Structure 1
């Protein structure tokens, strides 16, 4: 395998709640006023990323995994996940509130959908004054209380609202009720899954005047009814070294602020590494082959890389590995 930093063509998704900041704030080459998501790196069937640079340009992520499974994924990933790419990377802009939703865990998702479950994290890139997330309940509730509130139009009274600002980080366990509020741009790191149970959508209608489907019954078995203050993640801001943010069974994420020439040793990882640029710009190089990244771009460094060099006068990265 020829080892170099891989960039991919974004996959843009129109959403009822989407806006224009993927273009105006992140500089994405996309038209339209309702583009809610940019899938940066995906192995999800039907939305598989295509390489944009270097000798493998035009090949899909699946093709590269099939040809170089160990070189791209690493032995540790192959042992845990086989040849399935286990992480999905997105940028989102919510002009309006997303629907209130949750995601199943691995066992339930595998049984119902032949899919990974969905545990995720968010890093806030931009937030308008007063922007909030919905994360979990504001107290422990019973199944019966929840259903009564949902049917009586009182669900919002049971939910926890969390104010946000740029740089905040959140970890969302599967089963936790949540929604991204309007006015927020964020990076999302998650298990490779597109399974969502929508439970409330503010009675909005789509472009055809139809209410969107709700998944009330499916959500019940997956839902965590306990109030848990376990979602906000604090992290260090020491420069030129990784500052741990999330260490989960599905992915590990560190905050990495670079203002010099930095080399990261990857030899003990046995897995690929993803860099999301969430501020500034940098040159990322492997074995002398370099790519430039700016805020809103993502790079995959194959597992076969022994190290990576990052050169920047000032950038902020999220470093992600399975």
Structure 2
């Protein structure tokens, strides 16, 4: 994370996430006095949430505004895990409405950007229950804090750059050590953790485990339907789909609305130039590598690796590669609106 942000004295810290295009406040016990999680508009010193509220229909698009209101309906994170993150689950929309009076749950999607072996261990993830796991068994493992037993209930997969996984609300999961990935999700921070101590020994407050609803209702949020290793991959590993290619440009769909109506994400690769036509709804962009010039009418700006952009509805522009390597960027879309 520090390397991509160009920081000196780069370290692996306890905050392994960068939130992109965020209008969501983070829920961190003991840090309630800090306004964390909200993206800020560069050069204006206001949050993206405040800026959108100035004219939400124009910024987000009429169709989105009519269906989803003045929120973006999506949150994007860049995650770098120096250690395995805790085993957790997120509520689906039904449970989120019941427990938090929220219109959004926390279905999410991971796209692996890279990785590094840590202590000789190849990057990996845990995803979904194995067949035969019961609620009673899962609760006992929690109260015993039998971490090895918990992990043995889940499927473990080694991952490589380009892999994409959909994690529906209710599905237990954990990001393993050494994963560098982008996560696109519904715009909430409801996370139930069933480990009370991180692998490195950091103590997790009970509230951060059950999010204030109590442990009994926390266990209501798990989907205990187990699947075989092969069926789990068939259901949740998403294959890439090339949308356009040729003339020094390429666009690949990483997750589309045919898999979930909650969000979409594509990868843009530009060796020369690419026209980005206007769309009736907003989108976002995160620059993975290279540098380019964005041109829209008479306006022009330089774009560099590590930068993030919010693209209002009806925005069109041209990308012109200005480097010696392909310009690569992720483009994010909110929930299906038409």
Which residue of structure 2 lines up, in the alignment, with residue 9 of structure 1? Answer: none
Map 1:76-225 to 2 at 5 A: 76-115=63-102, 116-129=104-117, 130-151=122-143, 153=146, 154-201=149-196, 210-213=203-206, 214-215=209-210, 216-225=215-224
Number of matched pairs: 293
- Partner of residue 37 from structure 1, selected from 5, 9, 17: 17
Kindly state the Cα deviation for residue 135 of structure 1 after the two structures are TM-superposed.
Answer: 1.0
| TM-score, structure 1 normalization | 0.82
**1:197–1:218: 8 Å Cα contact kept in structure 2?**
no
**1:206–1:212: 8 Å Cα contact kept in structure 2?**
no
Kindly state the Cα deviation for residue 133 of structure 1 after the two structures are TM-superposed.
Answer: 0.6
| TM-score, structure 2 normalization | 0.78
**1:100–1:201: 8 Å Cα contact kept in structure 2?**
no
Name stretches of at least 5 consecutive residues in structure 1 with no aligned partner: 1-21
Instruction: State the Cα deviation string for residues 2-31 of structure 1 (Å, max 9, x = none).
Output: xxxxxxxxxxxxxxxxxxxx0124535796
From the superposition, tell whether residues 241 and 80 of structure 1 become closer, same or farther in structure 2 (CA, over 3 Å): farther
SS of corresponding position for 1:48:
coil
Q: Whole-Å Cα distance in 1 between the matches of residues 62 and 293 of structure 2?
A: 27
RMSD: 2.4
Structure (1 or 2) with the greater strand fraction = 1
